[in-house]
């Protein structure tokens, strides 16, 4: 992992959303959706980001592409500072980074034919020659498994799985090096999900893509990712090689999360750590370690200070006072 | 159909069909489905979206939405045919003897009433008791489903509760009258995995404590492995296979079940490439003629599959499959 160059370097990334009403003389309340995240993504790898709803996964995805303004922190894409760029520079560099969303029903314009939808990034980025563009679109549609004869059809004529293939074709049309996938298979049925997951893997092998793969489904993450980051309430609490993480999760939250996965066969009996309670309200996250309110092994000291990231080995870090 | 015979089962659903009439054309969402549910048993119904599993569940309580209607079959509950009941008689059964919980706990609770009032309504409706007694039963029911402070919770509105808590409230309402059958339609799908684990534990304990039967409808085979005793696999409105849960996972005989099990990424044994089922689920308009609905996606299909729809046949004890090619050397 360390041999490859980082394609994306993130340090101290924060996003605070203002909420509630603002009163004169008092500071406005914020939700700290992403609160101080640092990690690197290396060329050609797939980094998985897991966490429960509301932990800040999707906000993080948008921050990585600077689709929403950053509160604090730095993002370097191939060594250049993404946050220091002006509009024109940003547009140019976005050719190399694309995003695929969860819901292929709302991410495709219902009034455009799919050929146009896939062609749009090419036009926006000034690829000349309609004949040339048509050839690129045709090649990509066939690559993702959509018949080119259907280019004149509208999105509603396709099933969920096909629409997600169209979204993938659109993301690939500019030949990007980094693709952020925000829950790309969560809306799909099991049999269709397997088709799309295989497509993701094959495309990566052929085109040398780097993926950031966000999902709440641990078995999907396990299947597709080489490295995994676990998020809880706006922070990364553990990041590790996939094999290592599943074999020996260090953080008590990761342990509980893994033990909560339903078994894959009725004869497997699982020792389960059931977490009590719910994820706390992100408006008022617990003091100290954010997990201490639900942690089965918490000690009084856990609520005193935030745990720093500790090295378990060179490819495995976790943030817990008790390891 | 022969006259009513006493059934050894709590719920015996025979040849159930649900039809939707749209623009004068009939579409069968559920097509001749039969299954049995014994007392204390957890029966899983799995299938992908649009396979008819939810309609099949709603039909049990005569709740199929317009323009759909139950177009055939019999539903025997404690040897009484539910289809012969009047709406008033059904109301005495719903929520009392058979109750149901849904996927979206937010939309099944009324946002403008406090939790206490909504839960108490179940008792006031089905039991001849005073408001005070109903209030006490409400607190007890909320405690039974593991709500930490029932006294506080009864005064909350649904939006003040988290998704997991709302689902607990729904379960409290559903099991309050100690029904014989609980129908859970994708009850944990909207929940996070750690909360899902909590609700699963709760449902397991309910089966043990109250001797209840559960009809557990889901798309997630992992949950079936976790909770169910027996499974019904549905595809395009039909049952393709039914077996005990260990039998189904060890020895799936229908090509659809077999490939479905293989297409799920496994945590403990990762593979490089997933087995896929090519193509897509047929939509209702394509199901009018007689054929095996899985034929277009099946690797072992033949001429007969294209022209004759297969019947459920016995494979082993407690194991039924509807495939023309069952019994041949399967790959």
Is the predicted pLDDT of residue B184 greater than 90, yes or no? yes
Mean pLDDT of B68-77: 92
Is the predicted pLDDT of residue A175 greater than 60, yes or no? yes
Give the range among B91-100, B193-202, B243-252, B276-285 with minimum mean pLDDT: B276-285
pLDDT digits (tens, 9 = 90+) for A185-241: 988 888 889 999 999 999 999 999 999 999 988 999 999 999 999 999 999 999 999
Element at B152 (helix H, strand E): helix B150-153
Tell if the CB–CB gap between B194 and A260 is shorter than 8 Å: yes
Tell me what pLDDT residue B329 has.
52
Is the predicted pLDDT of residue A21 greater than 90, yes or no? no
Mean pLDDT of B299-303: 89
Q: Which of A198, A260, A261 sits opposite B273 (nearest CB)?
A: A198
Q: Judge whether A222 is closer than 8 Å to chain B, CB to CB.
A: yes
Chain B residues with beta carbon closer than 8 angstroms to that of A220: 265
Tell me what pLDDT residue B1 has.
46
Tell me what pLDDT residue A3 has.
56
Tell if the CB–CB gap between B221 and A195 is shorter than 8 Å: no
At A138, the pLDDT band (50, 70, 90 cuts) reads: very high
Tell me what pLDDT residue B331 has.
43
Mean pLDDT of A35-51: 93
Residue ranges covered by each domain of chain B: 11-107+180-321
Mean pLDDT of B279-297: 84
Nearest CA in chain A to B190: A53
pTM for the full predicted model: 0.87
Tell me what pLDDT residue A1 has.
46
Mean pLDDT of B227-248: 94
Please give the class, per CATH, of domain B11-107+180-321.
alpha beta
């Amino acid at each position: 992992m360390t041999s490859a160059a980082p394609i994306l370097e993130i340090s101290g990334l924060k996003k605070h959303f203002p909420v509630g009403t603002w009163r004169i003389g008092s500071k406005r309340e914020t939700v700290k959706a992403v609160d101080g995240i640092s990690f690197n993504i290396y060329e050609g790898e797939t980094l998985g980001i897991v966490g429960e709803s509301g932990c800040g996964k999707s906000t993080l995805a948008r921050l990585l592409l600077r689709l929403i303004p950053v509160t604090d922190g730095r993002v370097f894409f191939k060594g250049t500072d993404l946050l220091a760029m002006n509009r024109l520079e940003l547009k140019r560099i976005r050719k190399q980074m694309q995003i695929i969303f969860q819901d292929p029903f709302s991410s495709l314009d219902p009034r455009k034919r799919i050929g146009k939808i896939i062609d749009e990034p090419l036009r926006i980025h000034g690829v000349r020659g309609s004949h040339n563009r048509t050839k690129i679109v045709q090649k990509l549609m066939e690559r993702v498994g959509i018949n080119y004869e259907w280019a004149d059809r509208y999105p509603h004529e396709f099933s969920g799985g096909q629409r997600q293939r169209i979204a993938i074709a659109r993301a690939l049309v500019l030949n990007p090096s980094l693709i952020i996938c925000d829950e790309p298979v969560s809306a799909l049925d099991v049999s269709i999900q397997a088709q799309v997951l295989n497509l993701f893997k094959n495309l990566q092998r052929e085109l040398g893509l780097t993926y950031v793969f966000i999902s709440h489904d641990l078995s999907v993450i396990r299947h597709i990712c080489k490295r995994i980051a676990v998020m809880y309430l706006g922070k990364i609490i553990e990041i590790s090689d996939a094999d290592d993480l599943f074999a020996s999760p260090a953080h008590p939250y990761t342990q509980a999360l893994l033990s909560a996965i339903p078994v894959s066969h009725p004869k497997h009996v699982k020792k389960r750590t059931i977490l009590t309670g719910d994820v706390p309200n992100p408006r008022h996250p617990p003091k100290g370690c954010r997990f201490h309110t639900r942690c089965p092994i918490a000690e009084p000291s856990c609520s005193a200070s935030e745990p720093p990231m500790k090295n378990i080995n060179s490819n495995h870090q976790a943030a817990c006072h008790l390891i | 159909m022969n006259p009513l015979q006493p059934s050894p089962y709590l719920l015996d659903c025979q040849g159930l069909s649900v039809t939707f009439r749209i623009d004068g054309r009939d579409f069968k969402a559920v097509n001749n489905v039969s299954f049995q549910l014994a007392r204390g048993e957890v029966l899983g119904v799995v299938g992908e979206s649009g396979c008819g599993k939810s309609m099949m569940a709603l039909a049990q309580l005569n709740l199929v939405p317009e323009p759909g209607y139950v177009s055939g079959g019999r539903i025997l509950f404690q040897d009484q045919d539910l289809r012969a009941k009047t709406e008033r008689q059904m109301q005495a059964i719903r929520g009392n003897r058979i109750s149901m919980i849904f996927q979206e706990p937010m939309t099944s609770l009324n946002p403008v009433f406090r939790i206490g009032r909504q839960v108490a309504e179940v008792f006031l409706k089905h039991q001849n008791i005073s408001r005070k007694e109903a209030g006490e039963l409400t607190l007890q029911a909320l405690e039974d489903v593991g709500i930490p402070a029932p006294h506080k919770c009864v005064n909350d509105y649904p939006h003040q509760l988290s998704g997991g808590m709302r689902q607990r409230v729904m379960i409290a309402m559903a099991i309050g009258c100690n029904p014989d059958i609980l129908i859970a339609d994708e009850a944990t799908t909207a929940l996070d995995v750690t909360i899902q684990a909590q609700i699963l534990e709760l449902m397991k304990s309910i089966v043990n404590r109250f001797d209840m039967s559960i009809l557990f409808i889901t798309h997630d085979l992992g949950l079936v492995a976790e909770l169910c005793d027996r499974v019904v696999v549905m595809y395009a409105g039909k049952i393709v296979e039914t077996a005990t849960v260990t039998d189904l996972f060890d020895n799936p005989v229908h090509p659809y079940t077999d490939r479905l099990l293989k297409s799920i990424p496994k945590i403990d044994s990762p593979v490089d490439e997933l087995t896929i089922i090519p193509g897509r689920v047929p939509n209702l308009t394509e199901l009018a003629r007689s054929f095996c609905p899985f034929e277009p996606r099946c690797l072992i299909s033949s001429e007969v599959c294209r022209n004759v729809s297969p019947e459920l046949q016995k494979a082993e004890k407690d194991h039924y499959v509807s495939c023309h090619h069952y019994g041949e050397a399967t790959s």
